[in-house]
Amino acid sequence: MHKKLIALAVAGLASSGAFAQANVTIYGIADASFDLVKISGDANNELGNTTRVSTNSSYIGFKGKESLGNGMEALFQFESGVSFDNAGTLSTNRDSYVGIKGAFGTVMLGTMTGPTRALGTTLDINPGATGIGANNSLIGKLGNRALGSTNTGTWDYSPSSSCARSSSCQSVFDNRWKNAIAYVSPTFAGVNATVLYAANENKALNGLNAADTSAYDLGLKYANGPVMAAVTYNAVSRGNSADNKFSDLRIGGSYKFGAASIRAMFDLARADNLGGAKYTQAVYGVGATYDVTPASKLIGQFYMARDEKMNGSSRDDTGAKLFEIGVLHSLSKRTTLKAAYAMINNDQRASYDFGINAVGINAGSLPAGASTVGGTVQGLSLGVRHSF
């Protein structure tokens, strides 16, 4: 009832007909935490503690649908991230699209989560796959060679650089695809498929520097009762003069039994034609939850990034490990208290950072001459998550 009243109020402020549909839904997540985070440099060089308030992928959205007859529907969604820990603006920077759904499946156009990112978030133990312990701290990053903002042409594929303090530090495979068209098949006996293509909107013309970035993202998923299993493959071509190419293969699943659940994932990222070399890196992860009471749940996960390989040869001490343990306590169906401890233990030649709200393992965030290669990033997070 409250959502419908809000929708009517918004409609009153808009032009007549802008919200002519009666089934527009306003929804969102308000998720904030108080974090105490720390970077420890190599040789136990302590680089200090930081306290902060993080808004952990909070968002607001509008969605709706219209029956078109003959079993067909038009649907739309506009979703915006809300960083209420600092100044910001609203935009359709999250999953925002328009589409048609029928017996043939669903076709959508816009900015969307592809099946590869979706598998990673589904297998993460944190509500909303957010916070300092999220598995996107390690998966798909390929030694920080595959960071980027999808097909906009903004990429970072230098292993010596990392993410700035308080920024997102996820792989290109764990960001949403812009300029995308996707097809989601109907579900048959628990199985469905997704095909997504990201268009080459940044193509350089008329003699400009070569750029023609495009991508495709494929997924096959089985979900039936307590069992879920999926395989995805994401391939990206930068379309530049060096012909840089990135890809990621993920295989994972989960099983719920009684008060507990377990999940596991294998991730293999690859980069071709980077300085004439090919790089690969495998990441393994496991996670579990246990309902101590109907209102309280223990969570934990462990991910390990193996050493990178360059042209098939191992590059020693380039991996990392992610540990997280926490507890969730539901005050109601919509409000949850949460507490978690997370740590990334980098090998001597690695510099991974939190995927959500990075601490800042880079020279710009540290004292002159300080080194964090091989350092440890850790933190304690206490927060509240409310859905509406």
Please give the C-alpha separations between residue 144 and each of 156, 350, 388, in angstroms, as whole numbers. 8, 9, 35
Residue 139: pLDDT above 90?
A: yes
CA-to-CA distance for 121 and 275, rounded, in angstroms? 32
Number of H helices, E strands in the chain: 2, 21
Report the pLDDT value the prediction gives residue 1, as an integer from 0 to 100: 47
The band of 16, judged by pLDDT with boundaries at 50, 70 and 90, is: very low
The band of 22, judged by pLDDT with boundaries at 50, 70 and 90, is: low
Q: What is the CATH number of the domain that holds 216?
A: 2.40.160.10
Residue 186: pLDDT above 50?
A: yes
Report the pLDDT value the prediction gives residue 50, as an integer from 0 to 100: 85
Phi then psi for residue 273, to 5 deg, are 65, 40
258-285 residue pLDDT tens: 999 999 999 999 999 888 899 999 999 9
Report the pLDDT value the prediction gives residue 21, as an integer from 0 to 100: 52
In terms of residue numbers, what domain contains 62?
Answer: 2-387
Mean pLDDT score across all residues of the chain: 86
Report the pLDDT value the prediction gives residue 157, as an integer from 0 to 100: 55
Report the pLDDT value the prediction gives residue 275, as an integer from 0 to 100: 82
Report the pLDDT value the prediction gives residue 95, as an integer from 0 to 100: 95
- Residues in the chain, how many? 388
Give start and end residues of each alpha helix (H) in the chain. 2-13, 115-123
CA dihedral 9, 12, 13, 19 (to 10 degrees): 90
**DSSP at 104:** T
Please state the rounded mean pLDDT for residues 166-177: 87
User: Which of the two residues, 80 and 375, has the higher pLDDT score?
Assistant: 80
Q: Which of 47-51, 127-131, 293-297, 382-386 has the lowest mean pLDDT?
A: 47-51
The band of 42, judged by pLDDT with boundaries at 50, 70 and 90, is: low
Report the pLDDT value the prediction gives residue 161, as an integer from 0 to 100: 53
Residue 156: pLDDT above 90?
A: no
**DSSP at 188:** B
Please state the rounded mean pLDDT for residues 94-123: 96
Report the pLDDT value the prediction gives residue 379, as an integer from 0 to 100: 95
Please state the rounded mean pLDDT for residues 228-241: 91
Characterize the bridge pairing of strands 320-330 and 296-305.
Answer: antiparallel
Report the pLDDT value the prediction gives residue 87, as an integer from 0 to 100: 65
Report the pLDDT value the prediction gives residue 297, as an integer from 0 to 100: 98
Name the nearest CA neighbour of 255 among 293, 284, 229, 291: 229
Residue 135: pLDDT above 90?
A: yes
Residue 13: pLDDT above 50?
A: no
Please state the rounded mean pLDDT for residues 188-200: 94
Name the nearest CA neighbour of 304 among 326, 281, 325, 327: 281
How many structural domains are present in the chain?
1
Please state the rounded mean pLDDT for residues 32-48: 74
pTM of the model: 0.87
User: Which of the two residues, 200 and 321, has the higher pLDDT score?
Assistant: 321
User: Which of the two residues, 297 and 361, has the higher pLDDT score?
Assistant: 297
CA-to-CA distance for 111 and 81, rounded, in angstroms? 13
Q: Are 247 and 254 in contact (CB under 8 A)?
A: no
Residue 350: pLDDT above 60?
A: yes
